[in-house]
Chain A
Amino acid sequence: MKILIADDSRVMRQIVIRTLRQAGHGGHDIVEAENGRQALELVRTEAPDLVLSDWNMPEMNGIDCLSALRASGSQVAFGFVTSEGSEEMRERAASAGAAFLIAKPFTPEAFDDALRSVI
């Protein structure tokens, strides 16, 4: 499958990719975006099966990206990987249409649990 990773930190994108591999989800096609706006464009042009997105990013944050995707009719599976782990943020994520929220710092087990719900 094709996975789009949106995070403004290059090192965090690398850590997400490494953790996917450690969680037994290596071998997928990976596309990277630096912010929500770029992620929005790449969902259109690359048609990923899953988006893993940070919450706080410049240009466009993750929740606005998700809302824009749903408003445009996209039903791509979308999960947050973010330092925003509070109940309030989890509720906002779920009501906007996110499938899961993985809080940073994360473990391979947390990735596996979340991904098995959408793969």
Chain B
Amino acid sequence: MAVHLPQPKQLRDLLADLLGRDVTLSPSAPFAPGPDTPASVALYVDDSLRIGALIACDLAFSAYAGAALGLIPVADAATAVGDGKVTDAIGENLYEVLNIAASTFNVAGADHLRLHALHPAGPPLDPQVRISTLTLGRREDLAVEIGGYGSGLLSVVLL
């Protein structure tokens, strides 16, 4: 079996339903975090604990999606963006967003994946994890506008 690459509509529907807000997706250049770029990276493993995919998000998506899930005021999310890192509360919520996003991989006939770990935006990324976000090939790179909050970048990368 192979890992399923979630389609933009799947991701849009999931985010809109989960956050209870209008969500607009548009194609974007690949999100390529540098050594000093704050980025959140969620790692997904298969049933043999092999990492099969990751979702990388920029600081803005991390802050807005995490805040929107827990109805945290948009001003707090904007402060997190200005500070260059998400707060613990926003990070905890982002974990749940990306945990539920695992369901977009799990279609019939594809490898079953689940969230293994989240590196929240702020602290420097483990270099190996950061390099994995730069993998070319089967990936989906999107700009995501979360109604009432703001827009950021999200990339799904199959490894």
A residues at B contact (CB < 8 Å): 9-12, 14-15, 56, 83-88, 103-105, 107
Complex alpha-carbon distance, A9 and B103, angstroms: 16
84-108 of chain B: CB within 8 A of chain A:
92-93, 95-96, 99-103, 106-108
Contact of B106 with A105 in the complex, beta carbons under 8 Å: no
Q: How far is the CA of A85 from the CA of B101 in the complex (A)?
A: 12
Of chain B, the residue at the smallest CB distance from A12 is B96
Q: Is B112 an interface residue, CB under 8 A from the partner?
A: yes
Tell me whether A104 and B18 are in contact in the complex, defined as CB-CB below 8 angstroms, given that A11-B69, A83-B99, A83-B103 are known contacts: yes
Q: A105 to B112, Cβ gap below 8 A?
A: no
List 16 other contacts, CB 8 Å, given A10-B92, A83-B100: A9-B96, A9-B99, A11-B92, A12-B96, A56-B99, A56-B115, A83-B102, A83-B103, A84-B103, A84-B114, A85-B103, A86-B106, A86-B107, A103-B103, A104-B103, A105-B17
Q: Does B14 contact A (CB under 8 A)?
A: yes
User: Among A11, A88, A104, which residue has its beta carbon within 8 angstroms of that of B93?
Assistant: A11
Provide the B31-75 mask, 1 if CB < 8 A to any CB of A, else 0.
000000000000000000000000000000000000001100000
Residues on A with C-beta less than 8 A from B14 are 105
Q: What is the interface residue range for chain B against chain A?
A: 20 to 34
User: Once the chains bind, are A104 and B100 in contact (CB under 8 Å)?
Assistant: yes
Nearest Cβ on chain B to A88's Cβ, whole angstroms: 8
Q: Which residue of chain A is the closest to B104 with respect to CB atoms?
A: A83
State the CA gap A83–B102 with chains docked (Å). Answer: 7
Q: How far is the CB of B104 from the nearest CB of chain A, in Å? A: 9
Q: Whole-angstrom distance from the CB of A61 to the nearest CB of chain B?
A: 10
Please name all residues of chain A whose beta carbon is closer than 8 Å to the beta carbon of B70 when the two chains form the complex.
11, 14
Q: How far, in whole Å, are A11 and B93 apart by their CA atoms in the complex?
A: 6
CA distance A34 to B20 in the complex (A): 24
> Beta-carbon contacts of B107-132 to A below 8 Å, as 1s and 0s?
11000101100000000000000000
Residue of A84, A86, A103 touching B108 (CB-CB under 8 A): A86
Residues from chain A with a CB closer than 8 A to the CB of B107 are: 86
Q: Which residues of A contact B108 (CB under 8 A)?
A: 86-87
- CB pair B92–A9 under 8 Å, yes or no, is yes
Q: In whole Å, how far is A74's beta carbon from the nearest beta carbon of chain B?
A: 26
Q: Which residue of the partner chain B has the closest CB to A9? A: B96
Closest 8 CB pairs of A and B: A105-B18, A105-B17, A83-B103, A9-B96, A83-B100, A104-B100, A11-B70, A11-B93
A11 to B70, CA, bound (A): 6
